[in-house]
Amino acid sequence: MHDKEKSERFIFIVKWNNKSESFAQGSCFLDVKKAFGWKNNVLLIETLDGSQRETLELRETLERDYVVEPLGFGHEQAREALRHTASHILAQAVKRLFPDVRLGIGPAIEDGFYYDFDTVHGFTPEDLVSIEQEMKRIAKQNLPVTREIMSRGEARKVFEQSNETFKIEILDELPENEPISVYRQGEFIDLCAGPHVPYTGYLKAFKLLNIAGAYWRGDENRPMLQRIYGTAFMDQEGLRAHLARLEEIKQRDHRKLGKQLDLFSIEEDGGPGLVYWHPKGAIVREIIENYWKEEHRKRGYDLVYTPHIAKLDIWKVSGHWDWYKENMYSPMEVDDMKYLLKPMNCPFHILIYKGKTRSYRDLPIRYGELGTVYRYERSGVLHGMLRVRGFTQDDAHLFCRPDQLEQQLIEVLDLTGFMLKTFGYDEYYCMLSVRDPENKAGYIGDDDVWEQAEAALESALKARNLQYQVDVGEAKFYGPAIDINIKDAMGRLWQGPTIQADFTLPERFDIHYIGEDGQRHRPVMIHRTVLGAMERFIGGLIEHYAGAFPLWLSPVQIRVMPVSDKQSSYAEEVQKRFKEQGFRAECDLGQDKIGYKIRQAQLEKVPYMIIVGEREKQSHEISVRHRSLGDLGVMGIDEFIEKVRHEAVSKSLESVFDRV
């Protein structure tokens, strides 16, 4: 072949990893994949040339020269492409089995994908099995997944033919200039922006997980569709690991552990969303509350207690009556006066502030309270201790001068980080929740006041070098907030601390302080919680620790168990020593064999088991077993106490004996 001929036929050069290949007009990235010898674990292509990186499908035709990088399952977009294709395969399978369905939407999500269907047939778990089988068949057929750009009219015709009214609705709402793309695989066609993987055969490891109702476009005024959730991975091993993780999450469920460990309950006779703290759960809560109080005192907070109800009027002044009514319990009549159960503590703290004239020298004033509030939540959203109707916020309101605001916000951020770390939440994410500029009617206060508050929060985040994401429309009705999500041991995010700057309530309650100039000035308020609410925080902690609380929080820290009755009095003597040293220690004097006692203690996740038999009784020593480290051998009582005391006092997350 002459060079001239070659250069005419091979017009594009693609470079990867210092290698380059030439391609003829009309080649696509599947050809590139072949040329470079990439395997089927390449799902998308990323271009490295050009000012902006671009991700492309393997079916994309070459249009110029490229420098590329293949993207595998580890890359978010590539992962989503595979799962998105999986959702199309799901829809195709469902349409084959249930021809009357109409399609909603079917995106990739965090851990998998879903597709929404409208059909009179109610999907059952048995259906999932047959749908999965059909999906496997489609994958085996290895249908090409192709993309077409259509005119609006053409697309409309296609979906009208198949009576896909939901697709038409989406189509009609696509912006004018948006190219309309449609994906096909075999007989299946879907309106979709992509990207996708090139063949259905790329789907090798997947599982359908559950069926749930979901409003069309998340709007409760629109029809409810049936959603099928599934997940997909590159290989069986990835899928297996994911399913194992789901199982682990199930085992850690605070509702399950709460019952097993006898920490709390929610009583059907008492009402939904109302938590009963059993003795062991109450100990955990009490310890956390004491710790909380101690840390707040250290930082200049004054702790207060306020009532559970107050006259309707103050809720009008605060704005709750107008902006928060649907979350509040109905008024109750007392002496011809209407009272409301409090959904928040702020107005009460303001009343205390307002009780006397404040000087600029008094500020900042920080009122902290473990304040129990009640909020009406729709029945369907309640969830164990994580979403309840009555809960205790670790609340505080800081009243400060405008010039103190940023420093106060920074101190709150520091306190938050400090306390979260104690519980082993080393990773957390900050969200700056601002109001939705499209919906100003949903918030109280003037524009300039909002801007001021949002700016203050942002500059505090910047001052502490915290990464944050702006969350539009997530502000509270009276002010913007920093909402902090904490990452637990399973890598899940939980709503935790929230910090709000508020210029509005001081205005509404007309509170002030006397400045250096002898004039009245308006203070700024910070609303904040560090843990969020005791219920939610401890519910999350149970899952974070899988029920195995670190020593300082364990309801029972040490259980002493005699091998037989003959050592009972020695066991009690040992227990007494522990109790004298301030440990929560128990004695198991049951008639059971030692193996049984150990099993019970293990199941209850008691950190330290002290086994005393005839040998220990004679030598005045103890045999120590740790719930996760196992048998630690025989040691002296004082030696043990000294070590374990250090573990408890330091609030260690690990055993002192866990040294390698």
Partner RNA sequence: GCCGGCGUAGCUCAAGGGCAGAGCAACGGUUUCGUAAACCGUAGGUUAAGGGUUCGAUUCCCUUCGCCGGCUCCA
Residues 427-486 that bind RNA (CB under 7 A): 474, 476, 483
CB closer to RNA out of 16 and 391: 391
Terminal CA-CA length for the chain: 68
Length of the chain: 660
Three-state SS string over 20-78 comes to EEEEECCCEHHHHHHHHCCCCCCCEEEECCCCCCEEEECCCECCCCEEEEEECCCCHHH
Cα–Cα dist 411/329, whole Å? 34
Q: What is the DSSP letter of 196?
A: -
CB closer to RNA out of 185 and 226: 226
Site string for RNA, 186-225 (x = CB under 7 A): ------------------------xxxxxx--xxx---x-
Residues 43-72 that bind RNA (CB under 7 A): none
Residues 536-555 that bind RNA (CB under 7 A): 536
Cα–Cα dist 239/205, whole Å? 6
Cα–Cα dist 292/390, whole Å? 20
Site size toward RNA (CB under 7 A) is 75
Cα–Cα dist 108/87, whole Å? 7
Site string for RNA, 126-165 (x = CB under 7 A): ----------------------------------------
Q: How far is the CB of 571 from RNA (least distance, A)?
A: 11
Cα–Cα dist 382/43, whole Å? 40
Find all residues with CB under 8 Å of 609, minimum gap 6, and list them. 558, 559, 561, 597, 598, 601, 602, 624, 625, 626, 627
Which residue in 126, 172, 268, 438 binds RNA (CB under 7 A)? Answer: 268
Residues 225-244 that bind RNA (CB under 7 A): 226-227
> Does position 495 bind RNA by CB under 7 A?
yes
Site string for RNA, 326-355 (x = CB under 7 A): ------------------------------
Nearest-CA neighbor of 345 among 397, 300, 386? 397
Site string for RNA, 581-620 (x = CB under 7 A): ----------xxxxxx-xx--xx-----x-xxxxxx----
Q: Which residues pair with 634 in a beta bridge?
A: 623
CB closer to RNA out of 337 and 603: 603
Nearest-CA neighbor of 34 among 184, 148, 198? 198
Q: How far is the CB of 138 from RNA (least distance, A)?
A: 24
Which residue in 565, 580, 642, 658 binds RNA (CB under 7 A)? Answer: 565
Q: Regarding beta strands 524-533 and 520-521, do their DSSP bridges make them parallel or antiparallel, or are they unpaired?
A: unpaired
Phi and psi torsions of 527, nearest 5°: -100, 140
Which residue in 271, 307, 437, 636 binds RNA (CB under 7 A)? Answer: 271
Which residue in 157, 240, 338, 566 binds RNA (CB under 7 A)? Answer: 566
Q: How far is the CB of 609 from RNA (least distance, A)?
A: 6
Q: How far is the CB of 112 from RNA (least distance, A)?
A: 11
> Does position 630 bind RNA by CB under 7 A?
yes
CB closer to RNA out of 200 and 575: 575
CB closer to RNA out of 570 and 583: 570
Residue 111 Cα distances to 46, 135, 232, angstroms: 22, 19, 8
Which residue in 1, 3, 52, 122 binds RNA (CB under 7 A)? Answer: 122
Angle between helix axes 534-544 and 279-298 (nearest 10 degrees) is: 110
Cα–Cα dist 65/67, whole Å? 7
Which residue in 625, 640, 641, 644 binds RNA (CB under 7 A)? Answer: 625
CB closer to RNA out of 377 and 507: 377
CB closer to RNA out of 293 and 383: 383
Q: How far is the CB of 6 from RNA (least distance, A)?
A: 55
Q: How far is the CB of 486 from RNA (least distance, A)?
A: 10
Task: Using CB atoms within 10 Å of the CB of residue 267, give its burial: 0 to 12 exposed, 13 to 18 middle, 19+ buried.
Answer: exposed
Nearest-CA neighbor of 588 among 605, 567, 614? 567
Which residue in 101, 139, 266, 571 binds RNA (CB under 7 A)? Answer: 266
> Does position 372 bind RNA by CB under 7 A?
no
Which residue in 106, 230, 371, 384 binds RNA (CB under 7 A)? Answer: 384
Find all residues with CB under 8 Å of 531, minimum gap 6, and list them. 288, 292, 394, 419, 496, 497, 537
CB closer to RNA out of 322 and 565: 565
Q: How far is the CB of 229 from RNA (least distance, A)?
A: 7
Which residue in 405, 533, 585, 648 binds RNA (CB under 7 A)? Answer: 533
Question: What is the maximum span of the chain, computed from C-alpha positions, in angstroms?
Answer: 104
Find all residues with CB under 8 Å of 310, minimum gap 6, and list them. 339, 340, 342, 347, 348
CB closer to RNA out of 235 and 322: 322
